[in-house]
């Protein structure tokens, strides 16, 4: 379908570094995007480096940790310093690193809040504080067991 012009780009989801290496070794069309769970507790640094090197855009899902990261003290402190909401801090954390976000909400007020991510940025201090949250925790599921 890609070669017939019916698809402009191909994306994959929940690929680990090993899955991606295996795919790149065999595919004719490398993926344009990889969608994985990504947030300060699961920053996916190794995968992010690999994607950078291979021109694959990393896109985060569960940026809010399925809602559970909104109450973290670190996120709250950064939100207070920035005069933003915890959700905006978590989404901006991804954008700051060039990672795309796709927050889901059925609430119009939250949808508007989640779109206010431009014209401001996190400081080095903010990024360091959020960076210390890394504990490799999945809130959705861990695809590393898929062979």
With contact defined as beta carbons under 8 Å apart, do 41 and 133 qualify?
A: yes
Give the range of 1-9, 47-55, 108-116, 121-129 binding ligand NAP by CB under 6 A: 108-116
If the CB atoms of residues 77 and 138 are measured against ligand NAP, the closer one turns out to be: 138
Considering only 12, 66, 95, 127, the residue that binds ligand NAP (CB under 6 A) is 66
Alpha carbon of residue 125 to chain centroid: 20
115 binds ligand NAP (CB under 6 A): no
Considering only 71, 104, 121, 144, the residue that binds ligand NAP (CB under 6 A) is 104
Q: Minimal distance in Å, beta carbon 4 to ligand NAP?
A: 25
CA–CA separation, 38 and 58 (whole Å): 9
Considering only 103, 129, 130, 133, the residue that binds ligand NAP (CB under 6 A) is 103
Q: Minimal distance in Å, beta carbon 8 to ligand NAP?
A: 19
Residue 28, Cβ density class (10 Å: 0-12 exposed, 13-18 middle, ≥19 buried):
exposed
Kindly state the number of chain residues that form the binding site for ligand NAP, as judged by CB under 6 A.
22
Please list, in sequence order, all residues whose beta carbon lies within 8 angstroms of the beta carbon of residue 142, skipping any fewer than 6 positions away: none
Q: Minimal distance in Å, beta carbon 102 to ligand NAP?
A: 5
114 binds ligand NAP (CB under 6 A): yes
Residues that bind ligand NAP (CB under 6 A): 13-14, 35, 61-67, 70, 87, 102-107, 110, 113-114, 140
């Amino acid at each position: 379908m890609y070669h017939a012009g019916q698809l402009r780009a191909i994306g994959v989801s929940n690929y680990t570094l090993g899955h991606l290496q295996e795919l790149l070794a065999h595919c004719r069309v490398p993926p344009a995007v990889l969608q994985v769970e990504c947030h300060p507790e699961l920053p996916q640094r190794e995968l992010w480096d690999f994607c950078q090197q291979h021109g694959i855009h990393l896109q985060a899902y569960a940026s809010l940790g399925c809602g559970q990261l909104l109450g973290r003290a670190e996120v709250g402190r950064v939100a207070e310093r920035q005069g933003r909401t915890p959700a905006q801090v978590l989404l901006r954390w991804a954008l700051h690193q060039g990672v795309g976000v796709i927050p889901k909400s059925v609430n119009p007020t939250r949808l508007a809040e989640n779109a206010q991510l431009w014209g401001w940025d996190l400081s080095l201090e903010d990024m360091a504080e959020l960076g210390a949250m890394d504990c490799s925790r999945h809130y959705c599921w861990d695809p590393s067991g898929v062979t």
